[in-house]
Structure 1
């Protein structure tokens, strides 16, 4: 089973994300939930983004790398929106990572100081359309990771996976969780081979 670092979105470590982490634990995985906001949770994206900007990009990134050092056996990273930067950073710079899941965010690998590791399995999930993570954002990462699995969710809100937020969509969230569960099972079985991109 996987040891997972799960990085929260701009609203903070919500009850919805904690519940998802608990479901992963119930499947037998070990899940750590680093909190860049030290317990604060925000009612809207704008306040959350403003708080992240106050903390600073470097400090948020540091939380991700510090979590990776604290949990050296962690081998899968999952990031939501703001947390995709942390997940992608750890995936690109820590040895031993076996898989990465990004939900609602993607960056060009070179913006994080290195190329995407060859053959590192990657899943990207994004609403369509999504003002916070555009098709161009996804494509800039996919150029560096052409084997990535990309799943789009038409006519859903940015954070459709979190039941504590207005964007929540049960059907899309269930599809996301099923795809992540399948990805983790394939990683455990050593067969997380590239799948066809669905963009």
Structure 2
């Protein structure tokens, strides 16, 4: 087994146009503030070998601009889409509470047992994000990678890295707009070890 160290930076998209809501697969672009948040979160001195992005506009457009400006390869990965919120797509938290009291609280406290009505189950969501994560850990071994994605996707990846139970994955970690996390993967003759180096910066 070849020894290698892979560094993967995860960044959530900035504020989307349209304000706070459960947008999941709803494909809104970044707001002007969202663009500012993303540009402020990335320094000119940082270096990557590869940019990987969700295909949704609020991630892809920034990732494409960054990759173009820095002459980096860009990969779109459908598996990095946000969880589908089903009937909650496009609704605010207040509207959900008014329509179905306590439903949102149940989802945040145990999303495995209480998925959004008509939405993706947590097991389905976790499985596709996990497949993407393992793919890029192999494909980009030894490289520095920036992944532009969503709050739910980051929660699934960090649950995988840190062993967080799925029923705690949404409530255990705060992932605000333009939040960054850094994971290191060390591969050696002793195995593959993943560790969270930073979160929230």
TM-score by length of 1: 0.36
The higher-RCO structure (CA 8 Å, 6+ apart) is: 2
TM-score by length of 2: 0.36
| Structure with a larger share of its residues in strand | 2
Select the structure of larger CA radius of gyration: 2
